[in-house]
Amino acid sequence: GIAPPHGGRLINLVADESRVAGLKEQALNLEEIVLSGRQLCDFDMLATGVFSPLSRFMTRTDYEAVVAQMRLASGELFPLPVCLDVSNERARTLAPGQAVALRDQEGLLLAVMHITDVWQPDREHEARTVYGTTDCAHPGVHHLLRCCGEYYVGGTMEVVQLPIYLDSRQLRKSPAEVRELYRKLSWHRVIGFHTRQPVHRLQFEMTIRAMRTARANLLCLPSVGTIDPDDVDHYTRVRCYKRVAERYPPDSFLLNLVPMAMRMAGPREALLHLIVARNFGCSGFIIGPDHASPPHPDNGVAFYEKDRACRLLETHAGELGMEVIVFNEIVYLPFEDEFVPVDQVADGTQYVSMPGSLIRRRMRAGKTVPDWATFPEVLEELERACPPPARQGFTVFFTGLSGAGKSTIARILYSRFLEIGTRPVTLLDGDIVRHNLSSELTFSKEHRDINVKRIGFVASEITKNRGVAICAPIAPYAATRADVRRVIEAYGGFFEVHVATPIEECEKRDRKGMYAKARAGKIKGFTGVDDPYQAPVCPDLKIDTTDMTPDEAAQAILLFLGEKGYI
Ligand code: PPS
């Protein structure tokens, strides 16, 4: 039969209909905590029993036991902290015994929480023990040490409203609802497959083999909570899963989205996924190498050794009553047209492999993906989501001193793009922006940052919708420019062009007379005179207009974009 949940009982925190009106009334007089996107994911997992037997944001004793020995205070296996973090200031208004209202970003009441603990955790220790590192290049550690509040709040919850999702509602069933479905389908043995990738050939081979070995049906559990910005968006992934579903034997494949926030904690995270699968009624779990193991951004080396997660799962599978189906690295034999585990490849036989991350990167760069790596229908969906550069939007971001020639070059470039005519073009020149978007802003550091981030936001929307944005602010601060780059690169190309005309030349031209005014002290805080300009260290392109006409500069940029495949 279908496996009972971890701890024997599915948690359900949703309050009885009869309690709801009272809770809403009570909440009006309570302090409130607004949940972040990530906290909302955890909240959902707790409320619907996905994290059974955990029934609340962890108390201090649970937290300490989980960090130290991967167990709740009650003794049940639980590998990762699930805590409600709040800022210092917030923590001062909260105390044990108090009730608080939990709300979503729009102010909707989610639950009334009864606080039992407020404490300051040792987050460095948590990072070292849970993630095995305090290196903030690890996305989970970065979140923990750089983004989380300094205090944790533990306590039980009475849930008024589950988080509201606007997409794929039929595919977001709770463990109880999925178990109900098994009864309808007469499923008795189910294996779980947790993934944040589309199902390519490799994943298909793994799952179908596991189904054969375990003589079981498959529950595919894609994580659709907060994922890596580099991952394929979940709308695209859902379209891929739906299409690949047809390749499995009829009525043997079930898709259910899990809005779970990934921590990328490697082995410990894999163990949590095993527990989640168990709660969804699985008696088996498929695990491949590199489960939830992010690559280090500096050298691409994974944070966790290949089979550590597998070993940890095997150690605890018995206690959880689960069968773990381990797949070591699987590779493709071009000659035989077959997938096999790498340790079964005969000496001297040629093999190839292409992880999902590489498939995506190749597509974004406009390179082909070989037939054996994925399915045509998956490729079709991915092509729509990750078009080659020639069909992506992009931003050309000029930066440089006042009078360096940014606007002149930007205007020529604008007109060239209109001549080419393949994409809509928007010019976000400093003056245009200061007039239309940022008229209330001054030239303080703070206001310049707001100004440049606004430009970045508009450019990112344009880039997302496959247009061209040309921006030409001074943008004197490197960190702010880097933020803008991060936002835009998630959607398309970003090219920083440093118009590096030296200040002497800018001042000599002084077309608007601004430098003269600044030198005379009539304008204070003028960039380059008595305000900083942090020149880009490695811009995509550097242009010095002392020995180049604006036309030549625009031409150089067009050639550069052509070389990158964008035009
Ligand atoms: S920033 O720093 O990116 O927000 O600046 P930006 O929006 O591009 O605005 C620069 C133009 O504003 C005029 N101006 C000043 N520039 C620098 N510092 C001070 N204090 C200042 N006050 C006014 C200046 O003419 C810039 O125009 P450009 O077109 O760059 O010459």
CATH number of residue 187's parent domain: 3.40.50.620
Same-domain status, 506 and 419: yes
> Which residues sit with their C-beta closer than 6 Å to ligand 1?
402-403, 407, 430-431, 434, 443, 448, 451-452, 473-476, 512, 514, 523, 525-527, 531
Structure tokens at 153: 């709040």
Looking at the predicted structure, is the pLDDT value of residue 227 above 80? no
Q: What is the ipTM of this complex?
A: 0.97
Asked whether residue 491 is domain-assigned, the answer is yes
CB 470 within 8 A of CB 414: yes
Looking at the predicted structure, is the pLDDT value of residue 186 above 80? yes
Q: pLDDT band at 224, cuts 50/70/90?
A: very high
Q: pLDDT band at 378, cuts 50/70/90?
A: very high
Same-domain status, 456 and 419: yes
Residue of 474, 477, 506 to mutate, ligand 1, most atoms within 8 A of C-beta = 474
Measured distance CA(275)–CA(80) in Å, rounded: 11
Measured distance CA(421)–CA(410) in Å, rounded: 16
Question: Which pLDDT value is given to residue 288?
Answer: 86
Same-domain status, 96 and 182: no
Residue owning the nearest CA to atom 27 of ligand 1: 402
Distance 510 CA to ligand 1 centre (A): 13
Residue owning the nearest CA to atom 20 of ligand 1: 526
Distance of CA 524 to the CA centre of its chain: 41
Q: Which atom of ligand 1 is nearest to the CA of 525?
A: 20
Same-domain status, 542 and 394: yes
Q: Which atom of ligand 1 is nearest to the CA of 441?
A: 4
Asked whether residue 372 is domain-assigned, the answer is no
CA distances from 523 to 180, 274, 445, 507 (A): 71, 64, 15, 14
Looking at the predicted structure, is the pLDDT value of residue 230 above 80? no
Cis omega (within 30 of 0) for bond into 53: yes
Strand bridging mode 253-255 / 493-499: unpaired
Domain at 65, CATH number: 3.10.400.10
352 forms bridges with which residues in the sheet?
Answer: 332
Distance 433 CA to ligand 1 centre (A): 11
Same-domain status, 541 and 411: yes
Question: Which pLDDT value is given to residue 229?
Answer: 63
Distance 402 CA to ligand 1 centre (A): 6
Same-domain status, 205 and 257: yes
Asked whether residue 146 is domain-assigned, the answer is yes
Listed residues 134, 159, 184: the one ending a domain: 159
DSSP string across 98-163: -EEEEE-TT--EEEEEEEEEEE---HHHHIIIIIS---TTSHHHHIIIIIS-SEEEEEEEEES-PP
Distance 236 CA to ligand 1 centre (A): 41
Question: Which pLDDT value is given to residue 361?
Answer: 86
Same-domain status, 543 and 398: yes
Same-domain status, 397 and 515: yes
61 exposure class (CB count in 10 Å sphere: 0-12, 13-18, 19+): middle
DSSP state of 547: G
Q: What are phi and psi of 218, to 5 degrees?
A: -115, 130
Distance 526 CA to ligand 1 centre (A): 8
CB 367 within 8 A of CB 378: no
Same-domain status, 122 and 176: no
Q: What is the rounded average pLDDT for all residues in the chain?
A: 94
Distance 467 CA to ligand 1 centre (A): 26
Same-domain status, 311 and 421: no
Asked whether residue 51 is domain-assigned, the answer is yes
pTM: 0.83
Q: pLDDT band at 300, cuts 50/70/90?
A: confident
Tens of pLDDT, residues 81-106:
999 999 999 999 999 999 999 999 99
Asked whether residue 12 is domain-assigned, the answer is no
Q: pLDDT band at 158, cuts 50/70/90?
A: very high
Looking at the predicted structure, is the pLDDT value of residue 519 above 90? yes
Same-domain status, 258 and 109: no
Asked whether residue 380 is domain-assigned, the answer is no
Listed residues 282, 298, 331: the one ending a domain: 331
Listed residues 331, 364, 381: the one ending a domain: 331
Residue owning the nearest CA to atom 28 of ligand 1: 402
Asked whether residue 230 is domain-assigned, the answer is yes
Distance 475 CA to ligand 1 centre (A): 9
Domains held by the chain: number: 3
CB 428 within 8 A of CB 472: yes
Domain that holds residue 198: 169-331
Tens of pLDDT, residues 467-485:
999 999 999 999 999 999 9
